[in-house]
Amino acid sequence: MDVTISVRRAAVLTAALAATVGALAAVAQVKTNVPDAVDRDAIVFLPPGYNQNRTRRYPVVYALHGYSIGAEQWTHEIHVPQAIEGAFARGAHELIVVLPDSKTVHNGSMYSSSVTTGDFENYVARDVVSYIDAHYRTIASRESRGLVGHSMGGYGATRIGMKHADVFGSLYIMSPCCLSPRGSGGGRGAPGGNAANDEALAAVKTPADSAKLPFGLRAQLASAAAWSPNPKNPPLYLDLPLGDNLQAVMAKWAANAPLAFIDQYIPGLRRYRAIAIDVGDQDGLRVDAGKLHEALDQYGIANTFEVYPGTHTSDVAVRFQEHVMPFFSRTLSFEPAKR
């Protein structure tokens, strides 16, 4: 199998205004450095036949990493290229797999459109897709593009999938975070309910301050940078849901919760060839994943939902090989786009 890593850079985002916060490691995930440029490297895995048949074109799967890691670390979590090769060996059709990097100075972009840390939503949906189609032998149609992500990447697959059904044809959502508005079952560390946490967030002024925060509070900084950015509020250039800002900022965060805005994107969701959702039975995110499944069912949108034995991070590589890759092998179009 041919593997191309650190692929040509795809020009992407607005310049980040926020001060560099440095790399912060999450529990059970790998520490990584934060890119300091608006250009990002993507990692592209080419199938074994890519160089053997110079005229054949392939569908593409875009796989989104989670919070606190980047694309290179994501390869270790899902054990690629081994998992991709294993899927091909088990009968999955050959396709191209692309891992975009979406880590920010706050350890995660939330795959959202921020004026301070970057428009990662359109980076994934437009810039990376356009670059890959221009530089590789892809089947350049939505029916031949798949989108998958885990955790924060699962949120990204949900958000981008809903809003860009004109770009992607099949969705696989793994253990998605942040589906509900905060404070209504949307995940760990909801703001505004713990005075000590609020004080710790308000005290962050430097990278050293940020590095001392626990995982949940660091993730809140990423959420604020994505959903309530403020280019006139140094040093972090974001607004936190604290004090007099609580209701206004929480409203902005709620506006970015897929379970709150899903009703606006039903026509696009109906366009998908297939949608799959999975989550571990020991994962606190299983409740909201189930609500996403129920919302799709309510509108009569075909989808599969599996709760498997496991935690938030267990068996992700196995799932990628034995479920994600075969799913896209079945649901993407392998027919060349009609000109």
| Residue 270, pLDDT score | 98
- 89, burial (CB in 10 Å: exposed 0-12, middle 13-18, buried 19+): exposed
Locate 237 and state its tokens: 């250039």
> What is residue 188's predicted lDDT score, i.e. its pLDDT?
40
Burial class (CB in 10 A: 0-12, 13-18, 19+), 287: middle
pLDDT of residue 268: 97
- What is the reported pTM? 0.87
Tens digit of pLDDT at every position of the chain (339 positions)? 434 333 333 333 322 222 222 221 222 233 445 554 567 889 999 999 999 999 999 999 999 999 999 999 999 999 999 999 999 999 999 999 999 999 888 889 999 999 999 999 999 999 999 999 999 999 999 999 999 999 999 999 999 999 999 999 999 999 999 999 975 433 444 455 577 877 888 788 776 777 778 888 888 999 999 999 999 998 889 999 888 889 999 999 999 999 999 999 999 999 999 999 999 999 999 999 999 999 999 999 999 999 999 999 998 999 999 999 999 999 999 998 776
Residues 241, 201: Cα–Cα separation, whole Å: 10
The H or E element that residue 210 is part of is helix 207-211
Check if the beta carbon of residue 68 is closer than 8 Å to that of residue 151.
no
Tell me the HSE value of 273 on the side-chain side, using a 13 A CA sphere: 19
Q: Is 147 helix (H, G, I), strand (E, B) or coil?
A: strand
Residues 6+ apart with CB under 8 A from 215: 26, 27, 68
